Amino acid sequence: MNSKLKAHASANTAGNPILNKDPQEDAIRSLYMESLHLVERLHRRLLDVIKDEFDRQGRSDVNAVQALLLFNIGNSELTAGELRSRGYYLGSNVSYNVKKLVDLGFINHQRSRIDRRSVRISLTEDGQAIAETVAKLYERHIGSIHKVGGIGTDEFSQMNKLLQRLDRFWNDSIAYRM
């Protein structure tokens, strides 16, 4: 665990003797804080990897967050609200980036015939090209992650199960105000 997390963990327990009574809880605290840090860092690193891919191609017309958004839209036609509800993005982040991507010609937008307040979005050919660049990047990683990174199907399966459980725990924390 990095020094920032250690300082945070000890600052949270030093003045509160109740928190120090259970060694199991202290161990979980340390590991939980490290996991939070890793999840945040992995997301930032993914954006760095995507940015690097576009930098290699000499493209500066789209940033990594926007490229990831285009990839996640893929061949779908949906609303910004559906992107939010699927858990991809925060509200203002989606609205800003969708507007920007429409202006740049990467996303089509059309008012719904049923609900005029709702706008359906889909990728233009240029947007599909960006999404395809991200897909090819992921395919390259899939082809080498076991050999180079030493991460195989068992490790991914275990990691995915744990991340799903953490996601469910956080969802329950919100739903049941735990």
**Is the distance from CB of 101 to CB of 70 less than 8 angstroms?**
yes
Q: pLDDT of 48-75, one tens digit each? A: 999 999 999 999 999 999 999 999 999 9
Domain check: are 49 and 83 in the same one? no
Other CB atoms within 10 Å distance of the CB of residue 134: 21
Domain check: are 51 and 67 in the same one? no
Q: Identity (one letter) of the amino acid at 147? A: K
Q: From 41, 58, 75, give the residue that closes a domain.
A: 58
Domain check: are 7 and 40 in the same one? yes
Q: pLDDT of 90-127, one tens digit each? A: 656 788 888 999 999 999 998 877 877 788 899 999 99
Domain check: are 43 and 91 in the same one? no
Check whether 6 has a pLDDT greater than 70: no
pTM over 0.85? The answer is no
Domain check: are 23 and 100 in the same one? no
What are the angstrom distances between the C-alpha of 21 and each of 13, 16, 25? 10, 10, 8
Spell out the residues 6+ positions from residue 54 whose beta carbon is closer than 8 angstroms to its own.
60, 62, 64, 67, 133
**Is the distance from CB of 67 to CB of 34 less than 8 angstroms?**
no
Domain check: are 6 and 77 in the same one? no
Domain check: are 54 and 71 in the same one? no
Check whether 135 has a pLDDT greater than 60: yes
Residue whose entry in the numeric block shows the structure tokens 């954006």: 47
Count of structural domains, the chain = 2
**Is the distance from CB of 30 to CB of 9 less than 8 angstroms?**
yes
